[in-house]
Amino acid sequence: MINAVGRELPEKIGSYVVKPFLGTGLAKDDYGPVVSNRRPTLKPASGTKLVATLEDAIKASGLQDGMTISFHHCFREGDKIIGQVLTAIRNLGIKNLRFAPSAVVNVKNPSVVEFVKDGTISRIEASGIRGELGDAVINGDIELDEPVILRPHGARPRAIESGDLKIDVAFLGASAADEYGNATGQVGPNACGSMGYAFVDALNAAKVVIVTDNLVDYPCCPISISQQYVDFVVKVDEIGDPAKIGAGAARMTKNPRDLMIAQYTANAIAASRRFKDGFSFQTGAGAIPIAITNFLAEKMEEREIKASFALGGIPAAIIDMYEKGLVRVVACSQSFDAVAAKAIAANPGVIEIDNAVYSNIYAKGCMLDRLNFGVLGALEIDTDFNINILTGSSGEMMGGLGGGPDVADGADISVVTLPLVRGRTPSVVPKVFTLCTPGSSVAMVVTEAGIALNPAHKRYEELKEDLAAAGIKTVTIEYLCELARSIVGTPKPIETTDRVVAVVEYRDGTVIDVIRHLKR
């Protein structure tokens, strides 16, 4: 069958029944009351939930072959929890698990691939499987009976609360926790800041294990994850590498191309009628977003306007705006650096939010639906404004879905920023290799070679008018595509077999694309 964005999909992959993507705004309230898998239990007879080792916690949790385990990815590339837990599970001989973290970051030593190869893991569901694991899946180095399910941040809470993804045991890392399970990422030597991706797991997993390297006196304060959701607590030597969890504030980029893209983006945003006192935005992390944030801050100071809120994964640049009085509330679903991680405990207006309220389409209205401006990165964009944020120029797994598809859909004005070409690879193409975010939800794309508005976007007329009034010239997406081609030529098409190895879900749980084995 063919879905609403023209992708050909099988009806079933393994046991996964494909519901084709029907278009944005067509999501229906198609399941009944929220289904929690949480198992209420009585207080521990011992008076403590502390167990000596990860093996003890795993045994006590009742984890068995074929069950589902989850993790959050708030420690990012610095995570040392997933490796330790999977090793302990392997030591206990438990097999065929469904591995369902909020995202798989590129952790090594050990890599998740090893645990797939030895049969500990036989199914994978996450927002991304960037790096070694993704490459192994897409290259056929590992073979799974079921497709990997890739879900954007907003689709994971939906999957969990609808019962599609029932978690048996969640292993949640925390940089501070007490023996009764109250836990946070806001304090401690390995602070990650917001534990936004852990809440839906804590509320809905049958059993919850807190893994910390920093056991504090009862009660832990602040409390992000409440003891009422926690069964066991384990202290390990180290939950992460602080340098990789939260590096210092990113400096402003000096790359002229990135600065140009950022300046164009800030100019376009500032030209919008929605850029006024009380507006809201999400810019994200990375060189271009940080520069955009800084440029926007300058424009806000010039115009003497203040934002009502900044949202999402938060870097130091946004905390800086808060401290300057340019943003009233900073709602952090994730903290991208050490400055942002520490800012939550220190500032009443910098708040930790649950990923479900950040992005879940079925959450009675999530926060990103209230965004005026959402800035998105991309690996590729095509002439229909469809975005690829997963696969690179050779089809390799380069990114995760993250919240991009959600933000594009929720924000009044979604802006994709990317360089026209990367090395010998065009970024603006006739057709994206993997379709992650439907073009209809993308308002404009900004490159160093110009800004293109999407005529199919609901705010097209408004944006066109506002940009014209500000004297900002635009180009067509076809122009950008042709320009990219003229610079680097047409890349050799990526060849795949028919075997589907991953499905790309949209935020409503429908399938927007699939990923096939690469031909070798």
User: Is the Cα torsion angle 229, 235, 238, 243 positive or negative in sign?
Assistant: positive
- 470 vs 273: CA distance, rounded Å: 11
Please identify, using beta-carbon distances, which residue of 11 and 217 lies nearer to a copy of itself: 217
The beta-strand segments (E) located in 92-180 are 97-99, 121-126, 148-150, 169-174, 176-177
In this complex, which beta carbon is closest to a copy of itself, that of residue 297 or of residue 329? 329
The SS3 assignment for 81 reads: helix
Q: How far apart are CA 305 and CA 294, in angstroms?
A: 15
Shortest distance, CB of residue 36 to a copy of itself, whole angstroms? 4
Tell me how far, at minimum, the Cβ of 105 lies from a copy of itself, in Å. 26
**Shortest Å, Cβ 160 to a copy of itself:** 11
For 433, the token pair is: 């290799």
Helix residue ranges per DSSP H, 391-440: 404-410
Nearer to a copy of itself, 363 or 463 (CB): 363
Q: Decide: 7 and 513 in contact? Cβ < 8 Å.
A: yes
How far apart (Å, rounded) are the C-alpha atoms in residues 217 and 179? 8
Complex with a copy of itself: residue 38 or 485, whichever CB lies closer: 38
Using the minimum distance from each CB to a copy of itself, give the nearer residue, 230 or 407.
230
CB of 24 to a copy of itself, least distance (A): 12
- In angstroms, what is the minimal distance from the CB of 66 to a copy of itself? 18
Measured at the CA of 72, the angle between CA 67 and CA 74, to 5 degrees, comes to 165
Nearest to 84 by CA among 209, 195, 196: 209
* Choice between 181 and 377, CB closer to a copy of itself: 181
Helical ranges in 205-286 per DSSP H: 242-245, 256-271
CB of 253 to a copy of itself, least distance (A): 30
CB of 97 to a copy of itself, least distance (A): 20
Closest approach of a copy of itself to the CB of residue 512, in Å: 18
Q: Give the shortest CB-261-to-a copy of itself separation in angstroms.
A: 29
In eight-state DSSP terms, residue 120 is: S
Question: Residue 433 gets which letter from DSSP?
Answer: S
Nearer to a copy of itself, 31 or 460 (CB): 31
Residue nearer to a copy of itself on the CB measure, 190 or 227 = 227
For the chain, the distance separating the N- and C-terminal CA atoms, rounded to the nearest angstrom, is 26
The DSSP code sequence of 253-315 is P--HHHHHHHHHHHHHHHHSTT-STT-EEE--SSHHHHHHHHHHHHHHHHHT--EEEEEEEE-
**Strands 183-184 and 176-177, bridge-based pairing:** antiparallel
Cα–Cα distance for residue pair 49/43, rounded to 1 Å: 9
Structural tokens at position 278: 């009380």
**151-171 burial code (b ≥16 CB/10 A, e <16):** bbbbbbbbbbbbebbbbbbbb
Q: What Rg value do the Cα atoms of the chain yield, rounded?
A: 22
- Least distance (Å) between residue 363 CB and a copy of itself: 4
Of 36, 29, 69, 70, nearest to 161 by C-alpha is 36
Q: Residue for token digits 């990422």?
A: 185
Nearer to a copy of itself, 44 or 83 (CB): 44
Query: Which residues, 6 or more positions from 288, have their beta carbon under 8 angstroms from its beta carbon?
Result: 253, 258, 261, 262, 265, 377, 417
Give the shortest CB-147-to-a copy of itself separation in angstroms. Answer: 25
Residue 272, Cα to own-chain centre: how many angstroms? 27
Q: Based on CB atoms, which residue is closest to a copy of itself, 182 or 253?
A: 182
- Please choose, from the candidates 258, 246, 197, 212, the residue with its C-alpha nearest in 3D space to the C-alpha of residue 54: 212
- Smallest distance from the beta carbon of 370 to a copy of itself, in angstroms? 6
Q: Which is nearer to a copy of itself, 356 or 381 (CB)?
A: 356
**Residues 6 or more apart whose Cβ sits within 8 Å of residue 464:** 453, 474
Site residues (vs a copy of itself, CB under 8 A) = 27-29, 31-44, 49, 158, 161-162, 180-181, 206, 208, 217-219, 221-223, 226-231, 278, 308-309, 328-329, 331, 345, 348-349, 351, 353-354, 356-357, 360-367, 369-370
Q: Which is nearer to a copy of itself, 248 or 365 (CB)?
A: 365
CB 163 within 8 A of CB 65: no
Nearer to a copy of itself, 46 or 486 (CB): 46
Q: Shortest Cβ distance from residue 218 to a copy of itself (Å)?
A: 6
